[in-house]
Structure 1
């Protein structure tokens, strides 16, 4: 038995609410069970309860045992002075306010049906991955679909927070925000944070001015990244370094990224040299990029905008001074899908939010065009009979696993609550 189960029982009145009595045999009538706060202080705020003939307005605190009041040191906390009812599973000691008046106690265990307890115990039985893995595929489709939408927007709210953080750092320049977020996502998980620092090291006004010269953009990005720090015989390397040193002096760039880029364990097409060249080529070929993608609602149109490759040098190189067989290296559709999921959707959401616009349906529609993601978490859900058809569904499942299943928040999950209703 966990305390959050008692919160669930009280919040949704999953007990015999018509025949309640305090431990001292006074009748209890609940007019309002209060607001569930999940913050410091009592569990339920501003409840309205009649005990005996006296009507009370105040807070409700919930514990497994009455003595937990003292275990949690509530007797020393003035936030608990206005508790009008102490709801417990088992009453083992009296609790008093600072004026020595006793706090009424409701011992809940005698008012909860056996089926409700058994459903809870079944749900919270020992898990191998998530608690409801054997029951997940039997959840009502309407409940599951509605919950997916809520999960998606919870995840989107979290993803939009870094957007607003970067917005403040760039003096509310949305084009600069996009450049930083794209850089981070071009670096993938391994080099993402370093790519972000590279982008933040170059004032976006310089990117704007130099975007007409692809070699200058590449020189700036490669130079700030530290990839031009050594000495090489390669003529292209020497040209980039010359350009970089000129631009460094011209713009008096002070903030240089000195974190090493990772090549290890990457497929060659994901080498940081290739991704940085593609990023430079994107900003050479697409001016005012944010103005274009902020309103795009078709995956086909997004694919067209991101039809970029590396510069010519990288057609037969993956690293400086090491020639390789000639190969064109465009952004793949699967890579652009990641850009849509991790950059374009959060950015469009944040921009609309900043303007007070509602584009929820448009975002869902766009993400429903994107193929479902492939990773270990999604594979696991597939093994339980959940077959996502789009990135909208996989994003929802990732939120479900990371924020609910992993944290055992079954009683805050629509799926967990639906399973508790079943007898």
Structure 2
């Protein structure tokens, strides 16, 4: 038995509300269950009850056992002085207010609907499954899943907005600098994302602004700060990079403290950090005021045009500094731009709209829904239970569902779990 289940029973009145009585056999009439409190303090605020002939307004506290009141030291917490009803599964001891009056107790196990209890046990009694609802997921209607995934997607955006706000504070409210750091992390992808972010943080964004019209200097900055410049290579391009970086290092007093090492291991050559850093430099060399363009752009085709940048000429015949490869123009591909949109651009647009007090949910839904569903272990597994992911909105919602609900056994706070409990 989980305490969350008792919260669910109380909130949705999944018990015989017409005949409930306290442990002292006084009748209880529920005028309002109150407001569910997910923070510290009593579980439900501002409840309204009639116990016997007395009307009460106050808070409701819920426990598995009555004695949990003392286990949690509520008797010493003034926040619980206004509790008017103690709802428990097992009443094993009386609980007293500070004036030594017994707090009325509702022992819920005698009044719960058998169907609700059976559905609860069915949902939580399947150890070893990937998710608790694994065998029942296929039976959930599409409308419930679609609406829940949309809500979960915005829940995920809210979490990302929290991280973006931290970057904004760190960047002294410079949104252009925030975008640069986020783009750097995204260009590093999963393997080098944190390393690229550390590179972006290692030099003030004002330096990038000053070098934006000079790709050689931008590349020298990025490669130098990432410790990738190979002093042993005799190529004229590399020697020029070293010369430029030495100059920049002295001029801007550049430091490398806190920069994480770059990885090449298990990366396909088009994703090598050398290629991505050159593309990032080209982006900032070819586009001014990228933040404004990102905020003003709303169509997928325009985003593809904005981010379809290539490397400098040297990298058309190289993947690393010391080895020549077949000549090939290395342009940022659409699947990679899709990831930029999912992980950077749309979260940034959402956060900036919140910052300005604007509502752009409809345009965000339109844009994210045009992107193909991601393919990863979580999405693939849900799709094996039932085909539910048709766009990036769905796949992002499924990631949020698995990580924040399924893996934490929060079925009682999940629309799918609630549907199964109510069947």
Query: 1:162 Cα deviation (Å)?
Result: 1.9
- 2:72 is the counterpart of 1:79: no
Which residue pairs with 2:381 in the alignment? Answer: 380
Aligned ranges 1:245-394 → 2 under 5 Å: 245-254=246-255, 256-394=257-395
Aligned 8 A contact 1:187 1:194 in 2: yes
Which residue pairs with 1:35 in the alignment? Answer: 35
TM-score (norm 1): 0.96
- 2:51 is the counterpart of 1:51: yes
Counterpart Cα distance in 1 of 2:101 and 2:144 = 46
Aligned 8 A contact 1:225 1:256 in 2: no
SS of 1:99's equivalent in the other structure is: coil
1:62-106 deviation line (CA, Å, top 9, x unaligned): 111112222222223232222111111121211112221111110
| Equivalent pairs, count | 422
Structure 1: stretches of 5+ with no match in the other structure: none
Counterpart Cα distance in 1 of 2:15 and 2:382 = 33
Counterpart Cα distance in 2 of 1:421 and 1:56 = 30
Query: 1:391 Cα deviation (Å)?
Result: 0.3
Query: 1:325 Cα deviation (Å)?
Result: 2.1
- 2:90 is the counterpart of 1:90: yes
Indicate how the Cα distance of structure 1 residues 357 and 258 shifts in structure 2: closer, same or farther if over 3 A, else same.
closer
Which residue pairs with 1:182 in the alignment? Answer: 183
Aligned 8 A contact 2:198 2:259 in 1: no
SS of 1:275's equivalent in the other structure is: helix
Which residue pairs with 2:228 in the alignment? Answer: 227
Query: 1:254 Cα deviation (Å)?
Result: 4.0
1:359-393 deviation line (CA, Å, top 9, x unaligned): 10100100111111010101101110123111011
RMSD (CA atoms): 1.5
Counterpart Cα distance in 1 of 2:232 and 2:96 = 77
Counterpart Cα distance in 2 of 1:233 and 1:224 = 20
Counterpart Cα distance in 2 of 1:111 and 1:178 = 56
Aligned 8 A contact 1:198 1:256 in 2: no
1:282-326 deviation line (CA, Å, top 9, x unaligned): 111111111111121111110111111111111121111122222
Per mean C-alpha deviation after superposition, the further-off stretch among 40-49 and 372-381 is: 40-49
SS of 1:294's equivalent in the other structure is: helix
Aligned 8 A contact 2:194 2:260 in 1: no
- 2:101 is the counterpart of 1:101: yes
Counterpart Cα distance in 2 of 1:258 and 1:48 = 58
Counterpart Cα distance in 1 of 2:304 and 2:259 = 33
Per mean C-alpha deviation after superposition, the further-off stretch among 255-264 and 244-253 is: 255-264
Query: 1:229 Cα deviation (Å)?
Result: 6.7
Counterpart Cα distance in 1 of 2:291 and 2:64 = 53
Query: 1:140 Cα deviation (Å)?
Result: 2.2
Aligned 8 A contact 1:65 1:88 in 2: yes
Counterpart Cα distance in 2 of 1:258 and 1:357 = 36
Aligned 8 A contact 1:226 1:257 in 2: no
Aligned ranges 1:166-245 → 2 under 5 Å: 166-228=167-229, 230-245=231-246
